[in-house]
Amino acid sequence: MVNHLLLPALITGLVSVIVGRVTAQTFTVLHTFTSASGPNATNSDGANPAAGLILSGSFLYGTAAYGGSFGWGTVFAMQTNGTGFTTAHDFTGGSDGANPYAELILSGNTLYGTAHNRGSSGAGTVFAVNKNGVGFTVLHNFTATDPTGKNSDGANPFAGLVLSGNTLFGAANDGGTSGKGALFALNTNGSGFTTLHSFSSGSGGAYSSAGLIMSGNTLYGTDYGNLSRGTVFGIRTNGTDFTNYYAFTSGNLNGNGILTNSDGANPHAKLILSGNTLYGTAEHGGSSGKGSVFAINTDGSGFTNLHSFAAGAYNSFGLYTNSDGANPSAGLVLSSNTLYGTASHGGRSGNGAVFAINTDGTGFANLHSFTATPPYPQTQTNSDGANPTAGLILSGATLYGTTAYGGSSGNGTVFSLSLESVRVAGPNLTIVLFGSNAILTWPANPSEFALQSAPTITDTFTNLPGATSPYTNPISGGQQFFRLISN
């Protein structure tokens, strides 16, 4: 029995049996950070946002690592339609800190974050500020490190925070008792600072530039150094039971001196959790040495390389170009069974990409390749931004993100990407278009159904041998029709 017919490339026929909608993905630049000038490279809004955004109501909040009134970075806010941009705080490079590289978190009307540099000891700060920009407070100044880079509490955080009750948890990339970074906790009023763990050489891993996530009383994170090529770890919120659940493999250098391996290397990104599965990215390694997307169970079992970013070539500007992106340094966002993320390099112009992939590793799609910029040392300007180093957030059918460079001044952008796609559903067969691919899904029991295809609706439909749900079909060339039949 034929249950459903669909046409993925051109949905104009079969009106009586197709139910769905036809729209398009839309990339929009919401804000281009302005040019900076003077000895401290100052401007009115900030420059080079390296962090992701958070959403509250119709407002996006974020940080810019540089620029602002003093050249040391900003906290900013803007509406999701790109209007109403305001600077909530301009870092002075003094007691408040400098260079906020991490995303913010929000509790009530208070934003919490970290600054990588400066503060009273020059090792960075943890701060709080109201959404309207008033009440800026330094909650913790990381202490100065000794000549070997060691201290008691950590130093120079790249990562954002996670909140549980009235307790903030975070990671400092440097410092700690071995000089390899530390994990910490403190109360939202700045009291009760505790070093939960100091990373060490060898079995302890080292250098965590990624934020933590929490499940129950366990914090999960990644570090990018030692134990070969970085680890996925867990630790109790009271600082006990630190465990390295997975160590990325050492791999080999290919003919171009690039590390390749089976799983990825040097994770810099925050993990996400769905059920008992953690998902993340590794900036390097994988089959082409350009990074990977991975999954692993919370007990350390079942590590899976979901995607190794593709091999490519250097263009005339010296930028590495490929089909899907390269060197992902940011975490992922999950919607249903689809992961969305950014790659800081690669793509068609070498300036990075936004991608989607199913949680089982199928259906990879390059949703947007950032456009070309002039060859260095010219200012790296373009229309949409370049080199996204931060993760995305998803609201409804729209992704929001930042690029660290590019845009009309070369100082980065805030962007949105609609995920309005073609979705066609029948009694048993569903199609979603992602970029240049059609993803077909149907009930999971293969003994009940068979997927068939034909070049036109009047041709003979034949079984697709071995086709299982979800099935990925490139949208190219002539039309292709599918149907699902009951066995």
Per-residue pLDDT at 268: 93
Per-residue pLDDT at 7: 40
Closest CA to 367 of 385, 352, 355, 357: 355
Q: How far apart are CA 454 and CA 447, in angstroms?
A: 21
Per-residue pLDDT at 482: 77
Average pLDDT of every residue of the chain:
88
Q: What is the pLDDT of residues 213-224, one digit of tens each?
A: 999 999 999 998
Classify 84 as helix, strand or coil: coil
Higher pLDDT, 193 or 474: 193
Write the CB contacts of 154 (distance below 8 Å, at least 6 apart in sequence).
Answer: 123, 142, 171, 172, 173, 174, 175, 176, 181, 182, 183, 184, 195, 198
3-state secondary structure 146-210: CCCCCCCCCECCCCCCEEECCEEEEEECECCCCCCCEEEEEECCCCCCEEEEECCCHHHCECCCC
Q: What is the pLDDT of residues 99-132, one digit of tens each?
A: 999 999 999 999 999 999 999 999 999 999 999 9
Q: How far apart are CA 347 and CA 290, in angstroms?
A: 11
What confidence tier does 13 reach under pLDDT thresholds 50, 70, 90? very low
Q: What is the pLDDT of residues 128-170, one digit of tens each?
A: 999 999 999 999 999 999 999 999 999 999 999 999 999 999 9
Which stretch of 163-167, 199-203, 398-402, 462-466 has the lowest confidence by average pLDDT? Answer: 199-203
Domains and CATH numbers, the chain: 1-23+429-487 (no CATH), 25-428 (2.120.10.30)
Give the best-scoring range by mean pLDDT among 387-391, 419-423, 428-432: 387-391
The mean per-residue pLDDT over the stretch 168-181 comes to 95
pLDDT beyond 70 at 446: no
Find out whether 380 and 373 touch, Cβ atoms under 8 Å: yes
Find out whether 195 and 182 touch, Cβ atoms under 8 Å: yes
- Taking the CA atoms of residue 386, residue 388, residue 394 and residue 395 in that order, the dihedral angle to the nearest 10 degrees is -40
